[in-house]
Structure 1
Amino acid sequence: MKTIRDPLHGSIELDNLALELLDTPQMQRLRRIRQLGFSNLVYPGANHTRFEHSLGVYHLAKRLLDLMEIEDPAFLVSSLIHDIGHAPFSHVTEEVIHRYLGYGHEKIDDIVKRGEIGEVLSRNSLSPGEVLGYIHGKPPLGRILANEIDIDKMDYILRDSYYTGAAFGLVDCERLIRVIRILNGEPVIELRGLQVAESLLVTRFLMYSAVYHHHVSRIAGSMFLKALSDLIERGEIDPARLSSMDECELTLMMRDAGGYARWIIESLNNRRLFKRAIYTGISSFERGKRILDLRGKERRIEEEIASRAGVDPAYVILDIPKIPEIPGQGAKILMENNEVKYLYEVSNIVRILSDAVWDKWRLGVYTRKEDLERVAKASREVLGIGKEIKQVVLDLYID
């Protein structure tokens, strides 16, 4: 048994199995994968990693099992290794992996079943299938690791708030863990824990625009993804390798590729970022939420904007964030009469958040400072921003 210090949870006790797993190359790689991608360009303290987050989730899992008086080594393993599939810069590169490979960071079957982690599980007589089941949300305990309100979210919201300095992360994780029960094979939250469950979701809502979708983070991530996608399409980087690389390795590879990729990496290193030519909410579009149907067609629209503006398409980026969501609405609340209801049924706050999240959504068009005016004008024409302008792109690509 070994004890380490964590700035959020205090002392975290690690048994021999956890120590064996932490010493594998797959877990050590997470020391070199930042939790928040390029958010350190906004919040200088946001350099925390997937490694320390994994330790935090493990600690919460261990605390949960202690309170429930359950022994389940497979669940503890799953809590520790649940993020080993993350590629460099975390969720920034998730979109690329989905686009080219059709899956996300949760697909870690090969990593768990083979190599050093598989050997550790075998030595300790643990089933890789059972561990993977928990990671993929197998009830009941797996739904406490990956579900509506889970220990993964508890740690990353608290940790992200702490390291960014955003004063939103006042979530009592200990209280929340204490009010989770297993009922009919499903996790439920006792009614007395309603307020702390709401506080978790309110905090995540506030972090959405302040941290996770801050415009500087979006711009930097979009620049990086455009350069990375270009290298993948030219066959210079295999997207299947991303989940085994660290940030230093990928950054050096992109810099050594020269050309546009090198220019982007140097721009990011020196914080010479694109500027916002357009940055607007859903109300700017005549067809409202149907603007989201343009996701996946950004490259063609960027070329149209660039053509009208008379600039190189490499220096025009259209950023259409995915559909905003408030995870946790479907969490189950155990009422005083033992009836089970969904969180959104008993919480006015959660129902309000479901609508309010659209107020934080922004579509962006980014470009170099010298091209701002031309790209802004062309973007308004192409995207149909403004009542007097026909919805050109929506007519072409949505209908």
Structure 2
Amino acid sequence: MGTNGNEEVTSLYSLSCRDRRFSKHIHDNVHGNIYLDPFFLQFVDTEQFQRLRELKQLGLTHMVYPGAVHSRFEHSLGVYWLAGEAVHTVQGHQGSEINIERNDIRTVKLAGLLHDVGHGPFSHLFEREFLPRVLNGSEWSHEDMSVKMIDYIVDAHHIEIDSAILNNVKEMVLASSANASQNTVNEKRFLYDIVANGQNGIDVDKFDYIVRDSRACGLGCNFQFQRLLETMRVMGDEICYRAKDYLTVHKLFATRADLHRTVYTHAKVKAIELMVVDALTLAHGELSISASIQEPAKFWKLDDSILRQIETSDKQELKKARDLVLRIRRRDLYQFCNEFAVPKDKQEHFKDITPQDIVCSQKNGDTPLNEEDISVSIVKIDLTRGRSNPLESIKFFQDYESDYKFPMRDERISHLLPAFCQDMIVRVYSKKPELVGAVSKAFENYQLKTYGMKAQVHDTPEKKKRRV
């Protein structure tokens, strides 16, 4: 195994769809030709899956990075394809050892295809920002809705599918979520770590979106998932990687963190997201946006177009929400005032900062502020496992002749690798341009009161403070 790796992998690409006479061919701008056979087309050619075309993969990021208009539809096709390549790779290299059957391949590919079919609008904003606000700390997740949507699609379209395959697909979709099945999988545990890896975070979902998002935003990407995909190996029912690929694995998590910092949590992207959450909250009473979140038959009709619905409505009840959307269109955004990184030794017991904390930090004689004038965004960027290093959960092997797997620690590889795995950034925004100076000053007072110093890197520019 491994001596003719390139030849074997090349042949595996053709194995992904044994008979293309009955398949649909789609050309993807990341992976090239993707083939869907009739079994998978039963799911793709439904209104529930086609809805993913109306959900931008990066939500509102396209308002800052204009090229980021790709959808969850193409991402789902990409994950489907990579899931097939992953399972075919280990089958081709270790078929006699791990006994991968046709139904195993079908299950993993279907999980990849449908893993986001229950996603809400505007990327993760819907479930992490909007729903907790209007439903008092809601813990609704798109993974749970994906499972419900899969059942709904099967029933509504009378799709014939083996019950064992269906159950396994749903467990694979939930594998990295807080509601992952607690049942111990007795065999082929590694199959559940291909699409959504709750063990260590290496999965084909990340392989696809890291490359796809980087390309769409016009950014370079020096993470090459092919190296990991082509050389991974199943040992003791878990997927392991060559020791010499340690830095490639690290690059996966580092690239993801870079995307979070420079794209997903860009200061202006977050400003727009804060405005959209406020607009949705104002419109919620009239539109009952959250009413469908437990009903797949209604939920599939909810997508990014809800913003356009608010913007074009003539209803007086939606005027405040409509005005906020118009401010976004006219680039009259909430103004970023400043930010600071929470010190490492304060992160574990960090208490969320609220607009009230900023208002209460004002001094006598300052321009009076109200809580409604301020938005606070707490941004957490990590390597997928909070303050823990995900590489400590990954097993490596020396070469293909060795049957020994082992963990590796950063300090044994390089002293240039980060010693801390999480950033926590507090950002404050003024909802009114004329209050930037007052909000910035109150934010500085808060830092002095809390940390005994200004934790922000620099002062808010005077030009921004004078903007009216």
TM-score by length of 1: 0.84
Distance change >3 Å, CA 141–CA 349, structure 1 → 2 = farther
What corresponds to 1:372 in structure 2? 436
Is 1:281 aligned to residue 344 of structure 2?
A: no
What corresponds to 1:321 in structure 2? 379
Cα distance in 1 for residues equivalent to 2:126 and 2:290: 10
Match of 1:352, SS state, is: coil
Is 1:136 aligned to residue 169 of structure 2?
A: no
Cα distance in 2 for residues equivalent to 1:351 and 1:77: 40
- Shift of residue 49, structure 1, vs aligned partner: 0.8
- Normalized per residue, the structure richer in helix is 1
- Shift of residue 177, structure 1, vs aligned partner: 0.9
Is 1:4 aligned to residue 26 of structure 2?
A: yes
Match of 2:190, SS state, is: coil
Letter in 2 for 1:196: T
Distance change >3 Å, CA 345–CA 306, structure 1 → 2 = same
- Shift of residue 376, structure 1, vs aligned partner: 1.3
What corresponds to 1:204 in structure 2? 256
- Shift of residue 342, structure 1, vs aligned partner: 3.6
Deviations 1:151-178 (A, max 9, x none): 00000000000000111x2222222111
Is 1:265 aligned to residue 325 of structure 2?
A: yes
Cα distance in 2 for residues equivalent to 1:23 and 1:189: 36
Distance change >3 Å, CA 331–CA 346, structure 1 → 2 = farther
- Shift of residue 128, structure 1, vs aligned partner: 2.9
Deviations 1:117-140 (A, max 9, x none): 445574133543221111122732
| Residue 42 of structure 1, aligned match among 42, 60, 64 | 64
| Residue 278 of structure 2, aligned match among 212, 219, 226 | 226
Report 1:1-399 matches (<5 A).
Answer: 1-69=23-91, 70=100, 71=102, 72=104, 73-95=106-128, 96-98=130-132, 100=135, 101-108=138-145, 109-114=147-152, 116-119=153-156, 122-126=159-163, 127-137=165-175, 139-147=189-197, 148-167=201-220, 169-232=221-284, 234=285, 236-241=287-292, 244=300, 245-253=302-310, 256=313, 257-283=317-343, 288-289=346-347, 292-294=350-352, 298=354, 300-301=356-357, 304=360, 309-322=367-380, 324-327=382-385, 328-336=390-398, 338-342=403-407, 344=409, 348=413, 352-353=417-418, 355=420, 357-358=422-423, 361-367=424-430, 368-382=432-446, 384=448
Distance change >3 Å, CA 38–CA 292, structure 1 → 2 = farther
Cα distance in 2 for residues equivalent to 1:356 and 1:74: 34
Letter in 1 for 2:339: Y
- Shift of residue 350, structure 1, vs aligned partner: 10
Distance change >3 Å, CA 271–CA 344, structure 1 → 2 = farther
- Identity rate of aligned residues, in percent? 25
Say whether the 8 Å CA contact 1:41–1:271 is kept in structure 2.
no
- Shift of residue 182, structure 1, vs aligned partner: 2.0
Larger Rg: 2
Deviates more, 1:198-207 or 1:13-22: 198-207
Distance change >3 Å, CA 282–CA 18, structure 1 → 2 = same
- Structure 2: gaps (5+ residues): 1-22, 92-99, 176-184, 294-298, 456-468
Cα distance in 2 for residues equivalent to 1:214 and 1:390: 22
Distance change >3 Å, CA 75–CA 246, structure 1 → 2 = same
Say whether the 8 Å CA contact 1:2–1:14 is kept in structure 2.
yes
Deviations 1:222-252 (A, max 9, x none): 22123323444x5753425365311113441
Deviations 1:34-88 (A, max 9, x none): 1111211221101111111001001101111222234321221110010112111
Say whether the 8 Å CA contact 2:358–2:439 is kept in structure 1.
no
Cα distance in 1 for residues equivalent to 2:433 and 2:319: 20
- Structure 1: gaps (5+ residues): 392-399
- Shift of residue 377, structure 1, vs aligned partner: 1.7
Say whether the 8 Å CA contact 2:118–2:143 is kept in structure 1.
yes
Distance change >3 Å, CA 322–CA 6, structure 1 → 2 = same
Cα distance in 1 for residues equivalent to 2:349 and 2:427: 12
What corresponds to 2:20 in structure 1? none
- Shift of residue 300, structure 1, vs aligned partner: 4.5
Cα distance in 2 for residues equivalent to 1:273 and 1:347: 47
Deviations 1:68-122 (A, max 9, x none): 23432122111001011211111122213356331221112321212x3445574
- Shift of residue 194, structure 1, vs aligned partner: 2.5
Match of 1:141, SS state, is: helix
Cα distance in 1 for residues equivalent to 2:373 and 2:357: 13
Cα distance in 2 for residues equivalent to 1:209 and 1:356: 13
What corresponds to 2:9 in structure 1? none
- Shift of residue 372, structure 1, vs aligned partner: 0.3
Cα distance in 1 for residues equivalent to 2:48 and 2:27: 22
Deviations 1:319-347 (A, max 9, x none): 11246344543442322254433454576
Match of 1:35, SS state, is: coil
- Shift of residue 299, structure 1, vs aligned partner: 5.7
Letter in 2 for 1:52: E
Match of 2:351, SS state, is: helix
Cα distance in 1 for residues equivalent to 2:449 and 2:212: 38
Task: Give RMSD over aligned pairs.
Answer: 3.1
Aligned residues: 382
Deviations 1:8-48 (A, max 9, x none): 10100111122121111221111011111121122110111
Distance change >3 Å, CA 87–CA 330, structure 1 → 2 = farther
Letter in 2 for 1:365: V
